[in-house]
Amino acid sequence: MKVVIIGAGAMGCRFGVHFQKGGAEVILHDVSQAQVDAINEKGLKVTETDGSVEYLNIPATTNIKDAGKADVVLILTKSAQTESALKAAAPIMDESTIVMSVQNGIGNFDIIEGIVGRDRMIIGCTLTATTLTGPGEIRNDESAHSDIQALGGIAGGRCVEVRDMLERGGMEVGISENVLKEVWQKLSFNAAMNPITGITRLVTGRLGAVGAQTAAWISEEVAQVAEAEGVHIDREFALNFFRKVREEPESGMTHLTSMLQDVVRERVTEAHALCGAVISRAQRHGIPVPHLETVYNLIQIIEENYKYQLSPEHPDPIVNA
């Protein structure tokens, strides 16, 4: 089985590792020439939690046509690039190609369905934490677990094969009958923890009791929206995570959320898919989400003003005029 992964960031590389170790032919695609060159020149550097390091030879390219015909196309770009990435992948797909997504947030599945249809879709949710530490380098912060679901048709025949291959490669994978529950449960802490860490520029273990309480307020707002959308989630799922942050801030909770990594690198974040999409649904249902709206607005301010943010090395020219 040939798997082409579009979006060779931290998570794309992590899935590439598991697929390759499970026996798949894997090709990574990314728009970053530096990322692709580093992977091709020295191999993908993978650092595990115990400090062990290995280099894996996974071919990477910036030209999607170089990948050739794919059996599975795994979309792991930022949400804003989902549509353009999938359309660009048309040359490597035919009617038998499965499109898989385990992206953050909500809205990606609808975009994919509009392009390829439900019969060719495997959707999912991953609770895998990985950090991109440099071009061609990732650090795996904790164990990997994902839930996936085929939406019908030919995807159903591939779903078990995908699961088995990932599990042979070291990832725990469950086949769900309602993966949207897992998606919303993850969103109930992602929509809180990602913007809070991005705003404060702190890893999760440094947020303390105040950060955990703020995250819990946001999580409850997301849960209410999920229920209005017909998805009933386990509120304890997110609260247990926040409780761990509050009670054990020094116990290895050093994960850099994807939004924190984006803010530090002054990149566009996934705030719209994680927060904005929930706010839009909340407005349709008449559900107030003031805490979520506040952090969403703050992240947007930060994104729009990276070049003006103050530091000793970069004072604001207006202040110093």
| CATH code for the domain of 185 | 1.10.1040.10
Of 137, 153, 177, the one marking the end of a domain is: 177
- Whether 279 shows a pLDDT value over 70: the answer reads yes
Q: Are residues 138 and 202 in the same domain?
A: no
Categorize the per-residue pLDDT at 94 as very low, low, confident or very high, splitting at 50, 70 and 90.
Answer: very high
Q: What pLDDT sits at residue 271? A: 95
Q: Give dist(CA 180, CA 121) in Å, integer.
A: 14
- Whether 109 shows a pLDDT value over 90: the answer reads yes
pLDDT tens per residue across span 199-239 = 999 988 888 889 989 999 999 999 999 999 999 999 888 88
pLDDT tens per residue across span 25-84 = 999 999 999 999 999 999 999 999 888 999 999 999 999 999 999 999 999 999 999 999
| CATH code for the domain of 134 | 3.40.50.720
Give how many domains the chain has, as a whole number: 2
Q: Are residues 218 and 287 in the same domain?
A: yes
Q: What pLDDT sits at residue 108? A: 93
| Residue 315 resides in a domain | no
| Residue 232 resides in a domain | yes
| Residue 12 resides in a domain | yes
Categorize the per-residue pLDDT at 321 as very low, low, confident or very high, splitting at 50, 70 and 90.
Answer: very low
Of 136, 151, 177, the one marking the end of a domain is: 177
As a whole-number percent, the residues of the chain with pLDDT over 90 amount to 78
Angle of the 277-285 helix axis to the 290-304 helix axis, nearest 10? 150
Do 296 and 276 form a contact (C-beta atoms < 8 A)? yes
| Residue 300 resides in a domain | yes
What global pTM score does this model have? 0.89
Q: What pLDDT sits at residue 206? A: 86
Average pLDDT, the chain: 92
Residue type, 314: H
Q: Is 303 helix (H, G, I), strand (E, B) or coil?
A: helix
| Residue 320 resides in a domain | no
Q: What pLDDT sits at residue 257? A: 87
Of 177, 193, 208, the one marking the end of a domain is: 177
Q: Are residues 150 and 250 in the same domain?
A: no
pLDDT tens per residue across span 302-316 = 999 998 988 777 766
Categorize the per-residue pLDDT at 157 as very low, low, confident or very high, splitting at 50, 70 and 90.
Answer: confident
Q: Are residues 159 and 239 in the same domain?
A: no
Q: What pLDDT sits at residue 317? A: 61
- Residues ≥6 apart with Cβ < 8 Å to 319: 310
| Residue 74 resides in a domain | yes
Q: Are residues 23 and 126 in the same domain?
A: yes
Q: Are residues 172 and 184 in the same domain?
A: no
Q: Are residues 66 and 190 in the same domain?
A: no
Q: What pLDDT sits at residue 231? A: 95
| Residue 317 resides in a domain | no
Mean pLDDT of all residues in 92-116? 95
Do 278 and 191 form a contact (C-beta atoms < 8 A)? yes
Q: Are residues 78 and 25 in the same domain?
A: yes
Q: Are residues 213 and 161 in the same domain?
A: no
Q: What pLDDT sits at residue 49? A: 83
Q: Are residues 166 and 301 in the same domain?
A: no
As a whole-number percent, the residues of the chain with pLDDT over 70 amount to 94
pLDDT tens per residue across span 115-134 = 999 999 999 999 888 889 99
| Residue 211 resides in a domain | yes
pLDDT tens per residue across span 236-246 = 888 887 877 66
Q: Of 4-18, 75-89, 138-152, 188-202, which gets the smallest average pLDDT?
A: 138-152
- Residues ≥6 apart with Cβ < 8 Å to 284: none
Q: Give dist(CA 89, CA 4) in Å, integer.
A: 9
Q: Are residues 62 and 200 in the same domain?
A: no
Which residue range(s) make up the domain with 241? 180-306
Q: Are residues 225 and 140 in the same domain?
A: no
